[in-house]
Each structure stands twice: as structure tokens, then as C-alpha cells.
Structure 1
């Protein structure tokens, strides 16, 4: 780090080079800079490196999952961590970009909003795309209700963009002009000198209004003067400052405008290369006494290290980004330098650090999503020390945390992991970007990109992309690549791969001397965890047409759309067909009230249950006779709930509007639309799914429904974990595993703003609801099923149903403590059917809304398209198929009782 005295601070004066120009934009969301590990030396070199995992100082263990070069000098490493919280195990993932400062081709810099300007905001991915970053994360903390400027200091491309705020314990990360990293606290020092030689102290550059700590003023802009450069895009400097400013425009070191007394400053944006002095109180009096249009004026300012007391010329720094508390010092967790009460909980985290020898910078983002539980700050400290961080600080985390990187062979960045809000990236004021200046090298390798899993009949396009000796993308398509497959599980033609039969094949692409391979697995029925059909119910009526879509979810991996050609359909209770994604009912069998369209993918089944009234419109708000009112859990929360005409394409119908204002509240806040007082509105029969139209407000809040069931229990239905859309959309909710005991009552629809990360979500907004419908098979497909009591005695070929005995040809038996019965007789007594397929040894049991698929000798079974596991499997004895009684009967909604003394099985419905 270069030092300077006050005489060498940056200056603005007539004929001098205008400062604070050439702003670049870089973005890093949820960044953590961590310490070094062994790595490659020299341009283009990259070798696998040992990850230093020190003995855990706590219960946390850390292991490396993967590593991949992003560019020469930058490697993305993914870690898995395991820890114990309140006696329970928690796991998660963290992603670390290691930057080798000895590599001349890689650099890091700070990105700013849109077009490199403050008071604009943009996502991390957007800033990375705009500035050409090959990787990025979000950066500094900022006032979410402010105009959009960082709380800490910022230097981009050697230019001072914003100065540190006067807040205690706020650290910053910087790189000197000779690429040495440092983490320190900095304060700002500067002055304005009029033509008559009179100086006045400056309070900062490009700062929003805030409440200083440790000074004489409660308000940052009272009796103070600030510099605003053309990096500040907004015309207001700043907003909500509670002061009326006097503003002075300085161009080429000469005053060209001064605002009129009583005016709210100059109604202009800062011209390119110019700056505006914003003054209030005693500073405004200084302007009136000493400054005039046409006179030269000079500014000088710099930074001072609070650790060494030495002044720091901003021009001596390549970059600087502000942060929050220090986390690690000397390779150990250190005391927090300021309160972290607002940063509690297990969240996505970002931080920044460097190695003891100063060679490596680490950008770290801790994930909080369906794959990761997030971290507390103390866990983050432990994680950083375990991977070798020598000194590190905390950056803005939670919902701001997002990381993007450029995969090998690709030309643009993609989201490294899902944020706390899914794929939604929060707009932030700045970030940290990783850049490469490497020249084009020779082709080093090629990568095949495409799905690793296919279904039978599915086609997927594969692309061949190359990277050079600097791990930057290079075009290899000109080599007229050839494609081959190692076996008949797939066929490949010109990069199009088609799944033929279950198995794993290796596809090979060659272009000149370069060659790449990729394994592709064609999934069979045994590889699936679920086979979902939408809709799961339909109308049983001749002429009915139902658009259907099938989705398969492997035991491991993401869901896949099932090609129509790979599905075999079977119809029970009606005649029909499926063509071009539409199920058509041509005729219904006499006396049938429930039909089944069974879809099989390589033997794995699911079913659409068709009945006379598949889906019931429960509430469309057109003729609502019960009251609707707004309620909340916090008195400071205001709002309204009312049935009113819709907007847009809903203007001709009525909807339920829920408006809320939580800005005066705190903690976990709810805004309820309460239906029919405390009673709610009845859901008369067992519902397997719920459908409703929702107008979202993109508030990122949580949307739920509250149901009181017949047992007196309260059930909560997640309508949307995150309201991340604007306008109307239809939402389908599966209630089959909700555990709600019907009949039940829907009492409230509501918005939740949880305390954790509250500043990241809107506290005001309006949502609306319309066309709430329930699928209630009990009204139709379950109706008419026989009820009563059946008894069987072990070893006796007799079945008694409601007191009437009949002879059966196969007796129930007990084997290894499990009772087995011929399922056909249970279904004869209580309704339903069973079909035996000797080739596959499958038993398909249909009853009401249930489709149960069992296999002789296998403990796994499939219920309504979902694979589950039992303790025992069906048996084949003497040509008769016997099934575990309790498994089958309970899955079909029957009750089983066992009398040990008489060896009697009692089944009730």
C-alpha cells in the first residue's frame, strides 16, 4: 500500500485532470473472500490443489465437492459442510472462487448498478453481463429504502466512487496498485478551498443520507458539505436527507452554477467530468460567503487507516469495497467489530478474505436453498478458518447473496446456485467481479454440454464447446465434429441424442485433434421416484377432453418431461385414447362412476382418476354472502381485505383483494384476508388438490392459506414460498400429503413477512385471489364404495362380511409376523379391482382415488405415481398372489385390527 501526506491527496482544480471518472461495473452477490490454498503458478497454469481443512474448532466439518477453473488464475470450488445445531445435524454448501494475484491475466474490481452509476441497481448477473465479468458476487451493504449507494467506501478501476460512512466497526477490502490485499477500517478526510484561500471540511463523496456514529451530528448532511460526481445518476443528492441544500456545480475546476436561496439544489444530474458540492447550514453559509460563479475552487481528499493512522491516497488503490464486521484475523475467528443483531439466523452469507501470504483472494458465497441450510455468522467464521482464511470480513448476505460464474467453454455467466428466492436475483447497488485479460490460447479441451439423463424416446441437443490454455472459450465448431455412441441405449446424429432403452452409453464428439466424451443414462422405470400426471383427476363423461402432461422425477436428479412416445396407456371403466397430449373419453362403461387412465413408463405407473365431478369451483367471489375482513398479528400493520372488481383481464369479474402496509411494524408480520368471521368457509369433502388464480405483487413475501380441520387441528398450506411474479397466474397445490382431516374450513388467505431478512422484501403491496377450486374425489370416486366390517381367520378359507360368511379359495396366512391375504376378496368386500400381470409380476389395485402398483418379491410399491417402501413384499404361493394386508388396506383407506387370541383379522371401512 502506498502512503501519502496531506499535500499529496487527490485534488480538483482548474486545468487539472477531472477525477472520479471511468466507473466500471462489477457485481458480486453474497461474497466471502477466503484465504489461500496451494495452486497454480503462472499464466494459464491450473492444477488440482489441496484444500487445507484444519481440525474443526467446533462441530463443523468441511469437505471439497468439486473444483473447476473459471479462467486463468480463478478457480471455483464447491464445499459441503456439516454441523450440529441444538443437537440436530445440519448440512449445506458453500462456493468459493479463488483468485491468484500472482497471475497477471486475472483481476477483480467493483461493479456499480447500471452503466457504472450509483443510485441505480442491478442484479449480480446483470452487472456481470454488462461489464464482461467471468464471475461475480454481490457486494456492500446498502440502505434498501435509500437511493442506491453503498454504505462503505468504493474504488473502481483506481477511481474513488464513494467514501466510507462514519460508522463504527465497518471494514473494507482493498487491493493496492501493486496487487496487495488488505482489510482495514478507513475514514474520510477532505476539504474545499475557495479562490480567497478559505477552506471548509468535506464530509464525503457520493453518500446517501444516514445517521453517523461517534460524531457531533445525528444527521449526516446537517451543517456538512459533500461532493457528488457524475457517478451519481439521480438528480436528487441525496433523497430523504431532511435538509434543504445549497448546491454548487464545478466544471473544469470552475464554479458554473450555484442554486438559488431556498431552492432544493440544482435540478440537474451531474454532467460528465464535473462535480457538485452539496452544502447545508454552516456549509451553505460558507458557500454564500466565499464561493461565486466564475471563480476557481479546489477540492482535496483522501482516506486514513484507523489501524495505522496513515493517510491513503485513493489513487494508490486498484479497488476497494466496503463491508461490515471483521470475521477472521490472524487465521482465527475474531470478535465482531460492530453489532450483528440484525444479521442473526441461518442465512445465505457472503464474505471476503485473503491468504496469509497475500497471494490469494477468496470470494465465498454460502448457499441457503433446498440443498443448503445456510450459516450463522459464527459458523461462517469457523468455515473461513477451516479453509485457510487469514483475514476476512462480512459482506451483504441473506437475500442479496448471489454468485454467477462462467462454466468452461461457455461465453456468459450463469447463476452458480439458487438464491434464497430461487432463481430471483435481488437488485443491489454494487458487487465484485472477476475479469480476464488473457490472450487467445491454443485449444486445451472441449466439453460436451447436454442432459446427463434421458427418458426413453426423449431427444436432447448436445453442444461441443472448447476452451483454450487460459480456460477461456474458443470456437471448435468449425471442425465439422463427428458424433458416436458406445451402445444402443442412445442414438446420436449431429449432436441430437435420442434415448432408446434403459442403460448408460458414452457419446463421443471429435473435432480435429480434440475429442470429448460424456456419459448419458437412459432411465428405466426402476430409476424413477415419481411419475406425475397433470391433472391427476378429470371428468368421466363421453366426449370429455383433458390435456395431460407427464413428468418423471428420477431417484436422483431433476424432473423431466415424459415424451408421449414412451408412455403406454390403459383405460379402466371407459374407452378412450391419448393423442397429442390430450386424453379423450369416447364412451363410459355401463354403471361405472369412477374410471382410470393408467399411464406406464417402462412399467412404472401413475393414473388419472376420472369421476362425474372431478373439480369443484369452491369460490369465484361473484356472489359471496359471507363477510371478509382484514386482520393482522401486529397492531401497526394496516390493510384492507375486500371483494372488488378485478383489474386488467379480470375487470369483468369480482376478486378478493388483500392490500397491506407493514412499514410501521416489526418482527414476523401477517396480513390476513379472513373469510366468514372465525368460522371460515367449509370444504365439505376430502380434497386432493387445490387450484386458485393469484395476482402477485413481486414483493418476495410468503403466501399461505389457513385451514381448520375436523379434528380441531390447524393446517397451513403454502400457496407460494416467494411471491416472485407480477400479475395473474394459476397455482396448483397438491393436498394429498397434507394430513388435513375433512370436512374442513378455509379460514384465511394471507401474506407473511418474516423477521429474517425483512429489509429484502416489500412491506407494502396488494395481492388478489380468484377462482378457488378443490378436487374432492370423495364426492365422486369414493362415493358408493361399500362400507362395513369383514373378518378372516388365519388358516381358514372363510370371509365374513357384515355377518354373512362365504367360502374363499385361499386362506390368509402369517409369515414372519406379517399377515397376507388374497387381495381380490378384500376388494370384493369393500370395492375396487385388482389386475395381475404374470410377465412383470405386477398387481395393480384400483379403489376410489387410489392406484396402487405392487410387485411380487419387491418391498417398494407405487401409490398414485409415487414410489414408496414397505417392510415386506407380496408373495406368490401355490399360484395365488398374497399381499401384506395392513400395507394394502391402509393405503386404500381401510382400517385393520388384529386379535391375537383368535387369530382374527378385522377390516373396516
Structure 2
């Protein structure tokens, strides 16, 4: 989340619409270790069209003698070296953990936590002078505390002179208490936990420093930083202005000096030494107090508090015996929640007091599944499986000794598709729920409901449904609830071919994805997809199709992907591919342009790029670290005059070397009329290495001949700290796909009369196979499908087993089922008022459904009972 300068305020947040209410529903629960449970909840809306959000809670029993919480940080305890929550947990031996404090990003930011951090009773980072910022801590007597704290400290010279300490291991910032520059006329203490090259960067002050080792001054440097590394038993006092004069006047080599500091509660004035705490991690605004939601203690705009985002929070129960570490997902079809909703959620899980932690792209939870030896992601992050590097986190630890075998646990895929093969393994755990080596255990596997073929721990899913996979080893047993997705749970099936040009020999990637009725978005394994080809023949294997032959004179070919009978279509058209640019013989200039003016970078055509070592590619590096607002880095082609694109191609494909920056990748064109046209290449650059991407030029309305003038990235202002400020991209193999002219379809005027077999098509009389009729008890007009489809230039296919009719026309595929109240249009399920009827061997369909979905208009004259399609 944006962790820049955040002024204090009691701000109100937007709430969910009055018509929609939410309830908390427990979905799953598992044991992490003795005293720690991981619970998954659904935040379920009353409006079923809205997405159910998912949250995860680590419920920690603070009274359990084997459980401890501690602050995690950068590698080897560094407060300036960020790392992922997973890396923190693995480095420190945590069995679970979440991300922690907000932190600043940008050129002058070392990524230091903005609040205090205490790890194992030692203060590593002090608080900043900020308003309304709360921290979570656990005292040595295992009592949780959420409070506002202030850092107080004093440096004492050998002659007894003292000077106030402003903080420990802090980046430069603007104080909120008096709007001052943090390091001006101030004395700071830096330890070996500070590993950044400057103490700190961009402070606007010249330092005078003293190195103190074992309480003795060993080095003094006037007007410049000390270059000697800080030892574990030492620290540096860094001063400016009046503080620099204090060091210069009162510090002598060999003198004894002291640095004393503490934290003071800003609510009750109580003073704490760092050693009074097991741990402390700061957060942001207070969310809950006395079991109720409270007014936000800080401005929430900097953390997108009124928007749906991923969230992280920590709280505790009324009796102080239970800590709750909570994350809310934001990935795929899940959008996250507002801070107001987060307060409702915290109330629902029993939190008495709670504080907001860093969210958005930082939100991460890891945990060690029962029987496993390493932590894993508990849910997808904003980036999928990638974890953002963050300032610190809260780790959960166990000190339990090894116990005797208590049980076994099975692990493997819980959601499957028909045709998918999954393998399940056996793990073991002891009386303290810590992992044991499972070697030597003999397992017997069994399905409650035979939804597939089970051989040992290997399952081939063969039909949809739910079942329980049971495993037994000796007297120990476990079970996994399995779900094999069926067509009834599909809301949308999509296929995105790597090219839409249909030609013999073409090898086309055909990834198939599904969105379920509960909002989940999943990739369908290639082994689960069945293909049908209309207008051409092809072979399919491993998610690709290889085109063999294309029928002569067809306007379009249809690649129909089916899963459990549910279909979607990729419409392909005969055409050609043209290389727009491969940069091997480019004779024009390429340049860099950035916005704002502080943005810097370079663009060049170069060789030696990884993955393209022997060929030429277009390379752009960029640096957004200076400046503010929305930022652009542009690779400008041919001095802005661009590369000429002849005709009106439908698609541009290109290879892009990604830097996983999460920035927005776009292209700029100039059309035949001189109009600027923009196209998105990728919503976010979430990959590293080379990747082939497809841009739908037809959807942009680009009119040719045209020119490609720029390839560029955008770092938007919202959530800017979640994207890389510095990076490098490369581009290669820009290829245009040029189909024939837009697929033309017949547009006749068809006039029919209810109860009569005679009709007219463009004024010419024809005889119908059966008369249109009005279904009894309704006002729905039914017409013979094949007749109407033929006249509209559509293809009709009837599946007598599935009782399904498929209609292909232009760029549309409609599917309807007899007796089914839904239909699909290009793989999207939608309700239909009336389903098809089979009468005397012919299929009849509601006229409006079939005609209007195919882009026609239907007219009805009630007096004459005349139906007109035009």
C-alpha cells in the first residue's frame, strides 16, 4: 500500500450499499502447530451476483507455553533489507506469519518500518513522530498490547552533558507533530541492523558521527559519515546542527558514553523498556477497541481505505488470551474489502482490539501445513504466487519438543477437473502437531464417492461431484474433501488463442480458463479439454492445436473448446502474418521519453540480451524514482514518426522480456486520420523472462494504414509503491496478423406468421418445415431453428445425447439445451426465458433469443401475428 506521508485525521470510509449485507461463514479450519489454528472464512454477500471475498485467520493461543510471536525483518536482521514473508519465516524458523508495518518507497526510502519494531526484546527501529499510528506488541508476561507509542532517549557524554535522541535506525521523513525535517538538529542512533549505504539517504543534512563500541567512543567524524562498519557490540550516534555540536564538543576518543531509550504510551503515559516486550510490530490506523469499530485514527486515503483491497490486520480477544493474525485476499476474481468492512470482519471473528497493517500488494500469509516441514503461501497474493518484499512481519513460532506420532495427513489438489490426474502424498505429525518423517508408513487410500479412478495415491478424475479421499496407516487416518468441477458450476469459459489467423501448419496456443459461479478463476488442464473444429481440421495436444487443412472459401473457422459439455469458441479466419519488425535491420532512430521530466531511461537496439543473445532486440531501461504522480517511460520509434503498418491487421503479437515490475504495458499508434490510438499489451508485467503477448488491434478501432509510434509503460499513482520504480524491458518479433475483411454474415428480412408454414425471405415466398407457434400459457413465439439459421447464414449442430443445439454465425457461438433455463453466448452463461423445444423431429427456439443474440432485430405485429426478423 502507499506508505508515504500520511497526515492524521479521523476520516470516514464509504460503506457497502444498503441493499447488500454480508455475513461471515467459516469455510475451513486446520491446525498449524500446538496452540495455532488457521481458519478460512467467506465474506458472503446477500446479493449472489457479487463476489464472496475470502479471508484467513491465524488464531494463536497466547497462553500455550509452546507458542511465541516475534517480529521478523530483513535478511540477517537488517532493517533496511526487505524480504518476503516466506523468506523471513524460513530464515527464522517461523511456522506461520503475516506481513507487518507500512513503509516508504522511492529514491530516498530504505524500506524501513515507519513504526517501532522489537524483536526478541531488542528495539531495532524506533517510532516516528506520526499522528494516530498504533502498534501491536506482546509483553514478557504474554499479554498483547495495541497502543500508540513515542520514542524517548538520551545520549550522555563522559562529562555528564546530555542530548535527546530523536530515534533509532530511521529513514528521513517529515514529522507530523511539527512538520519538520526529521534529521535537522537531531541526534539518531544507528546499529548494525542498518545495512543501507547511507544513514539515511536524502536527509538534507551533513552528518557528524561518533562510533561507540562497548560504551567507549572509538571514532569521531566531523562533517562526514564514518566508514567503519558498526560491530554487533556498538552503535553510531549521528548528529546534525545542535546535535553535531554536542558530539564535537563533548565526545573524546576513549571516553565512556551512554545511550538510554524507551517507549512511552501516548494513551496512559506508561514507560516501557524494549526488554519488557517479547515483540512489537507497528501498523497504521486503529480499527477496533473494546470490541467495537472505532473512528480511523489516521487518514486512510494513503492505504486506499475506502476501496476494495487486500488487507492485513492483527488483533486480540477481550481476555487477551488469543491473538488474531488476519489477511484478506485480492487476486483473480477477488477484490478484497474496505477498511469499514475489515472492521466488521474483525468483530465477527471476536477481536476486542485490532490495528490495520500494510495491505494491498504487501498482504501475505504463510503457514506450515500439518505434517509439512516448510511454510507455504496460505493464499494467492495480489501478484499470484509472487510475494512482495516488505519491511517486516509477525512470525509465529513453536518451542514444543518432539513428541510421539499422533496422526497422518494427506496433501494434494482439492479442486480437480474431469480428466485431470492428481497425486496425493502422506505426511505425519506428532503430539504437538509438528512434522515427523513419514518414511516407512504404509498407506491405504479410498474414495467415499467414486468420482475417479484411484490407484494408490494417484487419482484420475472421471466425473463431476464431491467426495472424500480417505487414507489410513495403522491406527492413524486422515481425509481430504475433493471437488471435481462440473459444468453446472461454470459461469464463463474462455479461450485466448495466440493467433486468430487460420492457415495450414499453424501451431496455436489455446489456453482455456474458467470462471465459476462462486467467483473462482481457474485454468483448465489441457487434458480436461475436448476440441471440435468447424471449417478446418486440426490436432490438439498439450494445450496447442496444429492446423492440418482449411476448407476452401470459408469466412471463418471455429475451434470449440468443451469441458464437461460446456463450450466456448475461438473464431479463426484465413489470412496472413506479416513481420512488422524484428529489429535485425532497423535503420531508424529509437529514443526515450519520460514523464514527469525527472523520469530517466534509455532505449537502444542491442544484442546479447538473455534469451536473445545472438539477435537484435529493442531494449528500454527506466527509472521512476524521482518525481511524483503518474509516471511514463516511452520507447519512441523513428523519432516519433513510427513504423508503418499497412492495411488493417486484426492483431499484433510480440515477444516481451518482462521484469516483473507490475507496471502497465501499452502501445501507441497513429491511424490513417492522424488520430492517436492506444492499446494495452498487458495490464501488469507480472512475469520475468520472455513471453509472447497478443494485442487485439480490431478492438481498438485502429484504421489503416497506420503507424506504431511508441511502446511504453505506465506506473499509475494508485498503489504506486507496489510496482517497481526501476527496471528493464526488451521487445522482439512484432508480427501482424491480417485476416480477410471482417466476417460477413447474411442480413435478410424474414417474415413469418404464427400458425402458417408460408413465409417470405427478402420478399420471396418460401415454405417452412413447420409453422411458428406461441407456447401455451406464455407469449413466447417459437420458430423452426434450422430454417431461420440457414437464412441468416448460420451453421446449426444438434447433439441428441446432450439435447444441445449449437449455432455458429460470424463471431458468435450460441448454445441452448432442451429443458434448460440458461444458454451460453461465446462461453458466457446467461438466463433464457424459454428453452428450445423438439417437435416432430425439428428444433424450435424462441425467436427473440436466437435472432437478437445473433445481432438481428425482431418485430411483432399482434393483430396479424406476424414475426419480422431483419
Helix, strand or coil for the counterpart of 1:284?
helix
Task: Confirm or deny: 8 A CA contact 1:450 1:463 kept in the other structure.
Answer: yes
Q: Does the 8 Å contact 1:629/1:641 carry over to 2?
A: yes
Q: Give 1:663 deviation, angstroms.
A: 4.3
Partner Cα distance (1:57, 1:821) in 2: 44
| Residue 63 of structure 2 corresponds to residue 115 of structure 1 | no
Helix, strand or coil at the partner of 1:432: strand
Question: Which whole-Å deviations, capped at 9, do the CAs of 1:815-870 have from their partners, x for residues lacking one?
Answer: 23233222332343332332334343333333344343333333333444444442
Partner SS for 2:858 = strand
3-state SS of paired residue (2:249): helix
Shift of 1:509: 1.8
SS of 2:75's equivalent in the other structure is: coil
8 Å Cα contact 1:137-1:403 kept in structure 2: yes
Tell me the equivalent position of 1:23.
none
- Partner of 1:9 in structure 2? none
From 148, 153, 156, the equivalent of 1:190 is 153
Structure 1 residues 543 and 826: alpha-carbon distance in aligned structure 2, compared to 1, 3 A threshold? same
Tell me if 1:301 matches 2:261: yes
Give distance in 2, aligned partners of 1:57 and 1:811: 50
2:498–2:694: 8 Å Cα contact kept in structure 1? no
- Tell me the residue number matched to 1:454: 416
Tell me which residue corresponds to 2:316. Answer: 354
8 Å contact from structure 1 (residues 253, 296) kept in 2: yes
| 1:247 has 2:209 as partner | yes
**1:819 corresponds to which of 778, 781, 787:** 781
The answer to whether the Cα contact below 8 Å between 1:93 and 1:371 also exists between their aligned partners in 2 is no
2:164 match: 201
Corresponding position: 1:731 with 2:731: no
- 1:201-257 deviations in Å (ceiling 9; x for gaps): 333322222233446x93333333322222222342222222222222222333332
Match of 1:164 in 2: 127
How far apart in 2 are the matches of 1:73 and 1:446?
18
Distance change >3 Å, CA 863–CA 291, structure 1 → 2: same
**1:75 to partner: Cα distance:** 2.4
Structure 2 partner of 1:907: 869
RMSD: 4.4
Alpha carbons of structure 1 residues 775 and 410: separation in structure 2 relative to 1, 3 Å? farther
The alpha-carbon deviation at position 487 of structure 1 amounts to 5.8
1:805 aligns with 2:765: yes
State the Cα deviation string for residues 69-121 of structure 1 (Å, max 9, x = none). Answer: 32222223334446899xx9886444332222211111101111111111111
Structure 2 CA distance for aligned equivalents of residues 659 and 611 of structure 1: 39
Q: CA deviation at 1:462?
A: 0.9
Alpha carbons of structure 1 residues 363 and 572: separation in structure 2 relative to 1, 3 Å:
closer
What's 2:8 paired with?
Answer: none
Q: Give, in whole Å, the separation in 1 of the partners of 2:652 and 2:661.
A: 23
In structure 1, C-alpha distance between the alignment counterparts of 2:233 and 2:126, rounded to whole Å: 18
Compared CA separation, residues 755 and 576, structure 1 to 2 (3 A): closer
Are the aligned partners of 2:24 and 2:348 in contact in 1 as well (CA < 8 Å)? no
Aligned to 2:246, the other structure's residue is in SS state: helix
Q: Distance in 1 between matches of 2:547 and 2:290?
A: 73
For 1:599 and 1:761, locate their aligned partners in 2 and report how far apart those are by CA, in whole Å. Answer: 36
- Structure 1 residues 831 and 776 mapped into 2: Cα distance closer, same or farther (>3 Å)? farther
- The partner residue of 1:429 within 391, 395, 399 is 391
1:363 match: 325
Q: Which residue of the partner structure matches residue 12 of structure 2?
A: none
Gap change, CA 1:831 and 1:637, over 3 Å in 2: farther
Conserved in 2, the CA contact under 8 Å of 1:693 and 1:729?
Answer: yes
CA 1:75–1:836 in structure 2 vs 1: closer, same or farther (change >3 Å)?
Answer: closer
Count of residues in correspondence between the two structures: 840
Deviation for aligned residue 1:511: 1.0
Matched residues in 1 for 2:865 and 2:602: separation? 59
| SS of aligned partner of 1:479 | coil
* 1:222 matched residue in structure 2: 184
State yes or no: 1:885 paired with 2:857.
no
> Which residue of structure 1 aligns with residue 804 of structure 2?
842
Greater shift in the superposed pair: 98-107 or 495-504: 495-504
Aligned residue number for residue 275 of structure 1: 235
Corresponding position: 1:129 with 2:108: no
- The answer (yes or no) to whether the contact 2:666–2:713 under 8 Å persists in 1 is yes
Distance 1:800 1:155, change over 3 A: same
Query: C-alpha deviations, 1:566-590, integer Å up to 9, x for none?
Result: 6655544445544666544444445
Q: List alignment gaps of at least 5 residues for structure 1.
A: 1-28, 30-55
CA apart distance, 1:122: 0.7
Structure 1 residues 64 and 456: alpha-carbon distance in aligned structure 2, compared to 1, 3 A threshold: closer
Give the superposition deviation at 1:315: 1.9
Q: Contact (CA 8 Å) 1:682, 1:743: kept in 2 or not?
A: no
Aligned 1:301-340 pairs, distance under 5 A:
301-340=261-300
Cα separation, partners in 2 of 1:814 and 1:659, compared to 1, 3 Å = farther
Quote the Cα distance in structure 1 between the aligned partners of 2:799 and 2:333: 40
The alignment partner of 1:65 has SS state of strand
Task: Report the TM-score when normalising by structure 1.
Answer: 0.80
Structure 1 pair 655/884, CA: closer, same or farther in 2 (3 Å)? farther
Q: How does 1:78-157 map to 2 (within 5 A)?
A: 78-81=40-43, 92-145=53-106, 146-157=109-120
1:333 deviates by: 3.6
Moved more, 355-364 or 872-881: 355-364
CA distance 1:124–1:482, change in 2 (3 Å): same
Query: CA, structure 1 residues 395+239, in 2 after alignment: closer, same or farther (shift >3 Å)?
Result: same
Counterparts of 1:714-863 in structure 2 under 5 Å? 719-726=681-688, 728-732=690-694, 751-762=713-724, 779=741, 782-783=743-744, 785-815=745-775, 816-863=778-825
Judge conservation of contact 2:104–2:114 (CA < 8 Å) in 1. Answer: yes
Does the alignment pair 1:77 with 2:34?
no
Deviation at 1:734, TM superposition (A): 7.3
Match for residue 517 of structure 1? Answer: 479
For residues 177 and 814 of structure 2, what CA distance do their matches in structure 1 show? 70
CA distance in 1, matches of 2:366, 2:666: 31
Task: Give the secondary-structure state (helix, strand or coil) at the position aligned to 1:149.
Answer: coil
Question: 1:478: which partner in 2?
Answer: 440
Contact 1:525 1:604 in 2 (8 A): yes
Between the aligned partners of 2:44 and 2:671, the Cα distance in structure 1 is 38
Structure 1, 608-617 or 676-685: larger mean CA deviation = 676-685
Q: Distance in 2 between matches of 1:168 and 1:417?
A: 33
Q: Structure 2: how far apart are the matches of 1:652 and 1:373?
A: 42
Partner SS, residue 412 of structure 1: coil
- After superposition, residues 369-384 of structure 1 pair within 5 angstroms as 369-370=331-332, 372-384=334-346
Give the drift of 1:325.
Answer: 3.5
Post-superposition Cα deviations, 1:615-662, rounded to whole Å, max 9, x if no partner, equal 676787899999999999x87786799896688339955759696858
Paired position in structure 2 for 1:47: none
Per the alignment, residue 142 of structure 2 pairs with 179
Give the TM-score of the pair, scaled to structure 2: 0.83
Q: What's the CA shift for 1:129?
A: 1.7
Which consecutive residues of structure 2, in runs of 5 or more, have no partner in the other structure? 4-16
More displaced stretch, 384-393 vs 128-137: 384-393
Summarize the Cα distance change of 1:894–1:426 in structure 2 as closer, same or farther, 3 Å threshold: same
Q: Which moved more, 1:181-190 or 1:102-111?
A: 181-190
Say whether the 8 Å CA contact 2:786–2:843 is kept in structure 1: no
Secondary structure of the structure 2 residue equivalent to 1:342: helix
Query: Do the aligned partners of 1:189 and 1:202 also contact (CA within 8 Å) in 2?
Result: yes
> Aligned to 1:302, what secondary structure does the other structure show?
strand
Once residues 798 and 438 of structure 2 are traced to their aligned partners in structure 1, the CA distance between those partners, rounded to angstroms, is 55
| Paired residues of 1:656 and 1:770 also in contact (CA < 8 A) | no
Residues 552/205 of structure 1: CA separation in 2 closer, same or farther (3 Å cut): closer
Q: Would the aligned equivalents of 2:465 and 2:485 in 1 still touch at CA under 8 Å?
A: yes
The residue aligned with 2:360 is: 398
Secondary structure (helix, strand or coil) at the match of 2:123 reads strand
Q: Greater shift after overlay, 236-245 or 126-135?
A: 236-245
Change (3 A) 1:743 1:322: same
Q: 1:519 to 1:714 in 2, by over 3 A?
A: farther
Displacement of 1:898: 3.3
Deviation, 1:601, is 4.6
